[in-house]
Amino acid sequence: MRLILTAATASVLAASPAFAAGDVFFSLTNTDFVVLLAFLLFLAVLVYFKVPGMMGKMLDKRASDIRSELEEARALREEAQTLLASYERKQKEVQEQADRIVATAKEEAQRSAEQAREELSRSVERRLAAAEDQIASAEAAAIKDVRDRAVAVAIAAAREVIAKQMSAAEGNKLIDDAIAQVDTKLH
């Protein structure tokens, strides 16, 4: 109804130049009056067929559709935010787990390196000890060999000296004395 009053007021204001011209406004020969009548008739037809109500319903339906779409979009946004927060939380957990794995791997590598150093140190000590034992053994063997050769040389020299200075009778006497000494020491 407001629409009709607004349209009528607008048409009266639009017709005021026709009044100023001095012509009769309410005549069918006046085109402004005919246009005003056609416009009012058009508005009456629109009101009769309830076009403003239908347009209101259409606008209300469109508004409710938009409202439902907005609510659906808001729900989807909240769901997306929830998923994003979940993924961020999972990413953070995975990052923490990866950091823990890296820290553990570093600790294990450090322990392994330390163990390897200790084992290498022990191995070097064992090898040094073995080398020292081999050197001592070789030294003892060399000393024994030198002594054995010295004894052999001394015996050979003594044999030659004794053989040159001693006669057969003296040799027999020395053998008898040696047998007697062995006999007394054994009994």
**pLDDT tens sequence across 133-144:** 999 998 998 898
Q: pLDDT band for 4, please (50, 70, 90 cuts).
A: low
pLDDT at 174: 78
The verdict on residue 121 lying in a domain is: no
**pLDDT tens sequence across 99-144:** 999 999 999 999 999 999 999 999 999 999 999 999 999 899 889 8
Both 7 and 82 in one domain: the answer is yes
For the chain, the domain total comes to 2
What would the 3-class secondary structure string for 117-167 be?
HHHHHHHHHHHHHHHHHHHHHHHHHHHHHHHHHHHHHHHHHHHHHHHHHCC
Q: Which residue has the tokens 């999972």?
A: 90
Crossing angle for the helix pair 51-165 and 31-48, to the nearest 10 degrees = 60
Q: What's the rounded Cα separation, in Å, for the pair 153 and 160?
A: 11
Q: What's the rounded Cα separation, in Å, for the pair 28 and 49?
A: 27
pLDDT at 126: 92
Q: What's the rounded Cα separation, in Å, for the pair 64 and 26?
A: 46
Q: Which residues are CB-contacts of 36 (< 8 A; sequence separation ≥ 6)?
A: 11, 15
The verdict on residue 86 lying in a domain is: yes
The verdict on residue 98 lying in a domain is: no
The verdict on residue 113 lying in a domain is: no
Question: CA nearest 11: which of 39, 41, 46?
Answer: 39
Q: Which of 93, 123, 148 corresponds to the end of one domain?
A: 93
Q: How far is CA 124 from the centre of its chain?
A: 39
pLDDT at 135: 93
Q: Report pTM.
A: 0.39
Q: What's the rounded Cα separation, in Å, for the pair 67 and 71?
A: 6
The verdict on residue 115 lying in a domain is: no
